[in-house]
Amino acid sequence: MERGTAGPGTVAITGAAGSIGAVVRRALRGEVGRLVLLDRVPLEAETANEAVHTVDLLDPTALESALVGVDAVLHLGGIADEAPLPDLLQVNVLGTHHVLEAARRLAIPRVVLAGSNRVAGFYPTAHRTNSQDPVRPDGLYGVSKAAVEALGQLYADKFGLSVLCLRIGSFEEAPSEPRHLATWLSPRDAIGFCRAALTAAPAPGFTTVYAVSANSRRFWELPAPFELAYTPVDNAEDHAAHIPGADVPADPTAAQAGPYARPEFTLKHLRP
């Protein structure tokens, strides 16, 4: 692929050792010319077109060096759950800044950011949330992901990058609890969303979409075709018979975040 065009070229994945990173890695390595894998955890190349780098997102020099020659970055690295705010700011926010800054300096045409549904977890379950609704973070992790989106918007507006943020749902092999009937993101659909985000022809600007399977009970709007050309195929409802409590209707006034919205979920990460 020539730089700036759609198609299989050189794709980098940060957080490649993580749960989503590992799944997307296996799917993409047969489709791209070269796959550059970055993580703090040492990895080994498994195919001839894989290159691996043990890199900390907080080391901007090493990060930029690893991204030389890349056509698109899928930024999955970071803390993926509630944690003390200083840690989240360091890893999620500053780490994302380093990725975007490397993309600016190296003229990488497309950056895909791993956002989270938790940036808007306080909307009630009766509300069909879309990416244009104001953020309502359900915790400190959600705050850090709201800042990630803001950085993506800044780099698109100020420096002309093409940035797409995926608000990722509950990534699981199969849904296992009632909330997942609304929030599940299957591995197959995670691959589909990431592939579509990476291969769409880059255009300057910022887009945020929800990455969630086609769940009948979902809380969130699926992306319009002009935002992202992927239609999810899996539905958590197919697993409902195996989930205890699936037959109990959701409280329409309860927060979409479920237990993540409870004070105690965040209090344990605050000073006593």
Cα separation, 71 vs 62, whole angstroms = 18
Residue type, 94: L
Sheet of 50-54, strand order:
50-54, 34-39, 10-14, 72-75, 110-116, 162-168, 205-211
DSSP assignment of 109-124 = SEEEEEEEGGGGTTSB
Catalytic-residue membership of 210: no
Q: Hey, how many other C-beta atoms are within 10 angstroms of the C-beta on 126?
A: 12
Q: Are strands 205-211 and 72-75 parallel, antiparallel or unpaired?
A: unpaired
Residue among 141, 155, 230, 260 flagged as catalytic: 141
The 3-state DSSP composition of the chain as helix, strand, coil percent (nearest 5) reads 35, 20, 45
Element (H, E) at 199: helix 187-199
In the block, residue with structure tokens 């199969």: 174
Active-site annotation, residues: 141
